[in-house]
Chains A and B, each alone.
Chain A
Amino acid sequence: MHQFFRTLSCSDMRYSFLSKIFVAVFILTTGFVSAQGHEEEAHETGAHDLKTEIKEYIDHHLLDSYDFTLFSYTTDEGEHKYIGFPLPVILWDNGLKVFSSSKFEHGEAVAEVDGSYYALYHNKIYKTDSEGTINFGAHHDEDTHTEDAFGENLVVEEAHPTNEKPLDFSITKNVVFIALVGLLMFLMFRSVANNYKKSHLPKGLGRVLEPLVVFVRDEIAVPNIGEHKYKKYMSYLLTVFFFVWIINLLGLTPLGVNVTNNIAVTFALALITYFITTFSGNKNYWKHIFWMPGVPVPMKIILAPIELLGTFIKPFSLMIRLYANITAGHVVLMSIIGLMFIFKNWIGSPLSFALAFALSLLELLVAALQAYIFTMLSALYFGMAVEEDHH
């Protein structure tokens, strides 16, 4: 318990300190940029457009996509070229519909499947008519207006399309990546496991991975859950630790596939932690929630809903923490890289490069730290659920 608070406060401190620095740097640089932008605004509006473009690019980067694009570029004729491959789109809309995402032509065309039309709008699939019309609700704008799905002049960016959304189980870029990481982990750890059949000592990959496995066991599981009960939870803790870590690390590669900055992914992980906690809760755990021992009866009544809410907030915080840390890291990193295109002078690019480099190193730490924190807190919640009565 003591150890947990120590690590938590320690990591918080480290976090707040570093984040302060980066926020300061970020504000300074963006302030500088905007000041520069004001000066130039009279002459050209290009800088502003560039900023919008960078912002859109970052937003786009953070989103999932229906095809595996390694990189894209624009030709001199203004044509977008994409290097990558399409992925299958799986929809449930009055029956199963499977088609290749190449039909969307990267959001520039309406896909026609079995007489239904689908279009991409902000990387989501909507059911449309053959023209790909997206209808917007009236609640955001004075008058209802329609807009072309691939129209350029967006008036209301925050508007919600009212088109029907089919149930979407597509194999997106993130799904492919999750599966690939899963495969990688399976192959890696199976080879490590198989090695033990031949020798008692770890060899090759096992020399790196075994200490990490032992770390999860001795530093995360055993201190938080207890010597006698930790074994049941080891599989989950190890899987989640390595999964989050590896996927965070790979998210930093130029492939740029961010998985843990999808709230759906972190929600799924947090949900599993929630279910494991709830289903392994013993009598003592529930007693502490619904009828807190050692406090007067009125307090017990007040505490019960708070404690019950707490059981949801704990995994919820897990979800938000992982999502927010990775998203923030990527946004800041990409913003700094984007600065390079805004500065366009001899001081800006090296500065931007240096900052991006430093931040990348920090992100390497964050990748491991978030995996550790997620696993640590999951273990802590399991520990609370199985803790025996000490009164």
Chain B
Amino acid sequence: MEKLLEQFSLGLFVWQLVLFIGLLLLLRKFAWKPILNAVEKREEGIKDALEAAEAAKKEMQNVTADSEKLLKEARAERDAMLKEAREIKEGIVSEAKAQAQTEGDKMIKQAQAAIEAEKKAAVADIKAQVASLSLEIAEKVIKEELSDKKKQLKMVDDMLGDIKLN
């Protein structure tokens, strides 16, 4: 210990203190701060890049999942639309069919009614014509028949005979 104290050199101590503190300050300004900052910046950059990559990967997965979902949805929508269209089509067709049916029925009925009416009219016409023709024929026949007396009598007799029979 005594030897240590004897060895102790105040001058060296002061110089060491001054030079070391000087070195410390110089290095702090010109070396440690720039080095540590650069290292830190780089580490942060690496960290950010890694995080960004991770995020991008996740995003990518999300996008894939999304697109798959979208595709699925689109497919479902398409199916739904197709189904709906089919339903609508069927509806329209069946409706049209029903309408056509009723329309047809109605038309048939009308036609039938018209036919009936026409038939009736035709029948009535024929009846009238038949009646007038019959009258004309009967007139002619009667005129001819009644040209002689004998025949007139005979006819009367026949007619009478018919009436009796009736």
User: Bound pair: A and B?
Assistant: yes
Tell me whether A167 and B32 are in contact (CB under 8 A).
no
User: Chain A residues with Cβ under 8 A from B10's Cβ?
Assistant: 167-169, 264
Tell me whether B9 and A213 are in contact (CB under 8 A).
no
User: Chain B residues with Cβ under 8 A from A182's Cβ?
Assistant: 19-20, 22-23
A147-155, A171-179, A285-293, A347-355: which one contacts chain B?
A: A171-179
A255 contacts B by Cβ under 8 Å: no
Select which of A167, A194, A217, A268 is within 8 A of B20 by beta carbon. Answer: A268
Instruction: Closest B residue to A90 by CB, please name it.
Output: B11
CB distance from A67 to the nearest CB of B (A): 15
User: Chain B residues with Cβ under 8 A from A168's Cβ?
Assistant: 9-11
B36-44, B98-106, B113-121: which one contacts chain A?
A: B36-44
Tell me whether B42 and A63 are in contact (CB under 8 A).
no
Instruction: Closest B residue to A239 by CB, please name it.
Output: B24
Instruction: Closest A residue to B35 by CB, please name it.
Output: A193
Instruction: Closest B residue to A167 by CB, please name it.
Output: B10
Tell me whether B4 and A239 are in contact (CB under 8 A).
no
B16 contacts A by Cβ under 8 Å: yes
User: Chain A residues with Cβ under 8 A from B19's Cβ?
Assistant: 175, 178-179, 182
User: Chain B residues with Cβ under 8 A from A336's Cβ?
Assistant: none
Number of A-B contacts (CB under 8 A): 126
Select which of B17, B31, B39 is within 8 A of A268 by beta carbon. Answer: B17
Tell me whether A234 and B36 are in contact (CB under 8 A).
yes
Known: A263-B8, A269-B20. 18 other contacts (CB 8 A): A124-B9, A172-B12, A174-B15, A175-B15, A178-B15, A178-B20, A186-B30, A189-B32, A192-B31, A193-B31, A193-B34, A196-B35, A196-B38, A200-B42, A238-B27, A238-B32, A264-B8, A265-B12
5 cross-chain CB contacts under 8 A = A190-B30, A200-B38, A239-B28, A263-B7, A263-B8
